Amino acid sequence: MSNDILTIGKYEIKRGTSNTIELDLPNLYNTPTKLPIKVLRGKKDGPTVFVSATIHGDELNGIEIIRRFKKLSILKRLKGTIILVPVINVYGILTLSRYFPDRRDLNRCFPGSTRGSLASRVAKIFFDEIVSKCDFGIDLHTAAIHRSNFPQIRTNLNNKVTLKMAKVFEAPIILHSELLQGSLRALCDEKGIPIILYEAGEALRFDEKSIRIGVNGIVNVLREYNMLPKVFKKSKRIPLITSNSQWIRAVESGVIRTIKALGDTVQEDEVIAYIDEAHSDTTFELKSPFDGVIIGKSEIPLAQEGDAIFHIAKFNDLENAEGKIGYFHEDVIEQSEFDELQDEKTIE
């Protein structure tokens, strides 16, 4: 529950205020470097939550998700505190890189240390100053460079709280994900701070569907925890949940002709793509190993033997999967749904 004063770095933030603050980070050579943060505090008591993005400096959808989210007038009815961090990796984004200038992946450097590498120091500042002060969090990602993800939540399905958060977010897919050593998620798990990851779209691109599902998802989670007014209409968007997925790798090197798209259902042994040898008429088939849904794919039409080309989530009941996924194909969340969030009257 919220204290009257929330302290982040040298800032003391009162209830009922909206603040943009900048945390000091290690300088980029001679240039002063800051971590910009927006803190929204409702007058009324409620949980404290962080929404972060661009922990990988080339994963940009989350920046736009946070920009649109923070403009919603429904936030005038906020109970509790939201800490928005649109770009954690302020160094990587300068060169449109996933990594830090020291070539480290920030999301493998938690809990970090004040005496460690640059990325390790930033991990410690981010966790100590922001994440550790929160009751739960949402971390926004996209697929890695030259790959795209069908919108999906990755979390621990064995944790009741994160499973609930994942369901109410209403991304089309929920995928169980093991904890990686040094990741923010692993540290949050250890410290008892529930966190879900939203993975959607491609690195270095904005994807409208992913952005809309993301903004809507954050609102849905906040509603679930009474931080925003609840709505009592049953949603038609029901996520598919699985703990089983596999990357399909190129059987040979060549040029890829894709047959199936992100979000498509595929049957066991169904051809997803062909790999053509550029200098002969030889063609190889890339097949699905099981019934499932394509949740990730390479965006490069070339493959080296062994390259990961398609990420397929396993679902045994394909008819059911197709029904649920179909909704997300047709309805990308109409703009009118966001207009409704703007029109809600301010009563507090």
Quote the least distance from Cβ 115 to Zn ion, whole Å. Answer: 26
Residue whose CB is less far from Zn ion, 141 or 311: 141
How many other CB atoms are there within 10 angstroms of residue 274's CB atom? 15
Q: Which residue is nearest to Zn ion (CB)?
A: 141
Q: Residue 51: which of 78, 77, 11 has the closest Cα?
A: 78
Residue whose CB is less far from Zn ion, 58 or 291: 58
Stretch that binds Zn ion, among 53-61, 129-137, 208-216, 289-297 (CB under 5 A): 53-61
Q: Contact between 56 and Zn ion (CB under 5 A)? A: yes
Residue whose CB is less far from Zn ion, 87 or 286: 87
How many other CB atoms are there within 10 angstroms of residue 84's CB atom? 22
Span 153-182, contacts to Zn ion by CB under 5 A? none
Q: Under 8 Å CB-to-CB from 103, ≥6 apart: which residues?
A: none
Binder of Zn ion out of 41, 79, 124, 141 (CB under 5 A)? 141
Total residues contacting Zn ion (rule CB under 5 A)?
A: 3
Distance (Å, whole) CA 152 – CA 173: 5
Quote the least distance from Cβ 139 to Zn ion, whole Å. Answer: 8
Alpha helices in the chain (DSSP H): 61-70, 118-129, 160-169, 184-191, 208-224, 318-330, 335-343
Residue whose CB is less far from Zn ion, 41 or 185: 185
Q: Contact between 104 and Zn ion (CB under 5 A)? A: no
> Does the bond joining 151 to the residue before it have cis omega, within 30 degrees of 0?
no
Distances (CA, A) of 201 to 36, 56, 214, 326, 334: 24, 14, 11, 18, 18
Q: Contact between 147 and Zn ion (CB under 5 A)? A: no
Stretch that binds Zn ion, among 59-67, 149-157, 220-228, 339-347 (CB under 5 A): 59-67
Q: Under 8 Å CB-to-CB from 114, ≥6 apart: which residues?
A: 121, 124
Residue whose CB is less far from Zn ion, 50 or 338: 50
Quote the least distance from Cβ 338 to Zn ion, whole Å. Answer: 25
Quote the least distance from Cβ 141 to Zn ion, whole Å. Answer: 3
Quote the least distance from Cβ 53 to Zn ion, whole Å. Answer: 9
Quote the least distance from Cβ 304 to Zn ion, whole Å. Answer: 23
**Residue 240, helix vs strand vs coil:** strand
Residues near Zn ion, by CB under 5 A: 56, 59, 141
